[in-house]
Amino acid sequence: MDAEKRKRYEKIAAEVVRLAGGKSNILGVAHCATRLRLVLEDNDRADTGAIEQVDLVKGVFVAGDQLQIIFGAGLVNDVCQVLADSIHMDSMSLGDLKTKANKRMNPLQRAVKALSDVFIEIMPGILAAALLTGLSSVLGNLEFVENNDTLYAISTLINIASGAIFGFLPLCVAYSTVKRFGGRPIMGLVMGCIMLSGSLTDAYAAAQGTAEVTTLHIFGLPVELVGFQGGIIVALLIGIVTAKLDVFFEKKVPEVIRLLVSPLLTTLVSSFLLFLIIGPVGRGLASGITAGLVWMTQNLGALGFAVFSGVQQLIVITGLHHVFGAIETQLLVDTGRNFLNPLMSVAMIAQGGAVLGYLAKHIKNARAKELCIPSFVSILFGITEPALFGVNLRYRYPLIAGCLGGAIGGVLVYVTNLAALGFGTTVVPGIALADPAGNGYVNYIIVHVAALAAGFIFTLLLGMAFEKKQAVPAQASGAAPAKAPAQPAAIEETAAEQETAGKAEAADEEIGAYVKGQFTGIEKVKDPTFAQKILGEGAAIVPEENKIYAPVDAVVEMVTDTKHAVTLRTKGGSGILLHVGIDTVQLGGKYFTLHVKEGQAVKKGDCIMEADFKGIASEGYDTTACLIFAELEDGLQVNLEAEKAVAVGDRIAVIGK
Phi-psi sector, 605: left (phi>0), alpha (psi -120 to 50), beta: left
Distance CA 77, CA 30 (A): 9
Is residue 632 within 8 A of residue 501, CB to CB? The reply is no
Rg over CA atoms, the chain = 28
Element (H, E) at 162: helix 149-167
Distance CA 546, CA 613 (A): 6
9-32 b/e (C-beta count within 10 Å ≥ 16 → b): beebbebbbebbbeeebbbbbbbb
Distance CA 162, CA 175 (A): 19
Distance CA 116, CA 102 (A): 14
Residue-level length of the chain: 657
CA proximity to 579, closest of 596, 563, 597: 563
Catalytic residue among 32, 80, 172, 372: 32
Does residue 172 have an active-site annotation?
Answer: no
In a 3-state reduction of DSSP, which class is residue 30? strand
Give the bridge partners for 90, in sequence order.
none
Is residue 30 within 8 A of residue 93, CB to CB? The reply is yes
Is residue 280 within 8 A of residue 203, CB to CB? The reply is no
Is residue 186 within 8 A of residue 254, CB to CB? The reply is no
Residue 572 Cα distances to 486, 553, 633, angstroms: 20, 10, 8
With both helix axes pointing from N to C terminus, report the angle between 301-318 and 232-252 in degrees, rounded to the nearest 10. Answer: 30
CA proximity to 594, closest of 637, 561, 643, 632: 561
CA proximity to 92, closest of 46, 45, 22, 26: 26
Helices (H) and strands (E) in the chain, counts: 25, 20
Active site residues per annotation: 32
